[in-house]
Amino acid sequence: MKQEQDYTNGSHIWEDSELFQESAKGVIKAAEELGLSDELIDRLIQPRRALVVTLPVRMDNGDVRFFDGYRVQHSMTLGPAKGGIRYHPDSTLSETAALAMLMTYKCSLFSLPLGGAKGAVRCDSMALSDREKQALTRRYCSEIHSFIGPDRDIPAPDIGTDAQVMAWFMDTYSFEKGHAVPGVVTGKPVEIGGSLGRLEATGRGVIYTIIETAKHLDMELNQDTTIVINGFGNVGSVSASKAKKLGCKVIAVSDVKGGLYNPNGLNITDVQNYVKENTFLEGYKEADYITNDELIELETDIFIPASVSGIVTKDNADRVKAKIIAEGANGPLTRDADIILRDKNVTIIPDILANAGGVTVSYFEYVQDLQNMFWSEKDVNNKLWNTVSETVQRVFHESQRRKTDLRTAAFMVGIQRVIKAFTWRGTFP
């Protein structure tokens, strides 16, 4: 068997980011425990194809700026590729490839007939006007439209994008095709083929995985259960609301600038209303203002990192005081941090399990678009609960059977389904 680092030695242009290295190592560990060959391990890691585009956009001041855009399709063995589009100033081809790889095993883990993909535009979406963002979105869609489609690759929202961006994207793709194609993206507004329950799906899924994990740990979730959330975007905000509804006490939340802390529990509805009016948490008076570093080190029962990758590292992992970590973001723990925390007996619900509520309900939306028949929000949420519950049980069973951690077990479940599909389909030519 090759040494682990040989798979991720920077020999390909998509392997130069830490996130790709960390994600690949997780796949490698699971694959080696399954006893897979070098050839299969290489195939499990390398993306199928990638597209890089340059996007000229006329800004409001009349200048033309150029933005880099990416779309990576990691695997289409199980079905059409699926994955979000993020607008972020630090996006790279390598990071996009890593996220596409995670999507492959996330979809497989949840038994969805989909492969993995991811898209990104390197930009600061908060610095763009609505007109500039629309122009950027339509140009990006126009550049990659031959690469995607309901039977090929189905984008969705991610960091920096939302239902409005998906609406512009769908409209542009439909214009290129000459007729409405609602199934080209998910996460759309309900009025043009979106699904009820999609907006809250990722955050709701995070809480569902916590509920099921607590059952396995014989841990009660009640008014004495404390929760800390890093990131107060869609995922973090919804997770906070659902945790509060569950009866738990959310004592801290944060955004890119800093966080709020109240040991007696935050009024989440009030905080959400404040953010709607002021964009950031900064200035909120009903809690102490703390840094993100201080928030990560708070003593709590449950910690939900729901912002960006790599916020918990070997440098601060030993100061994390949570019993359960549910990865609402992709790759928020580095591999070194993961090892340190597991040695401290912290239960880590890995990203491909914890944050898969979004892609699961995206699949439900895709099915509804194809059938042109739509479900009630109650039906969507019930289906999500059943899917998440069954998947968490499957991962815990695999973890106990293989005597391994939840992350490795989750990858093992996802990998085995992909490998079976590889075997049946064979290699062409």
Looking at the annotation, which residues are catalytic?
118
Q: Could you tell me the sign of the dihedral formed by the alpha carbons of 125, 86, 170, 68, in that order?
A: positive
CA-only gyration radius of the chain, Å? 21
**Peptide bond preceding 113: is omega within 30 degrees of 0, i.e. cis?**
no
CA distance 84 to 67: 18
Inter-axis angle of helices 93-109 and 18-33, nearest 10: 30
Structure tokens that stand for 282 in this block: 């900064």
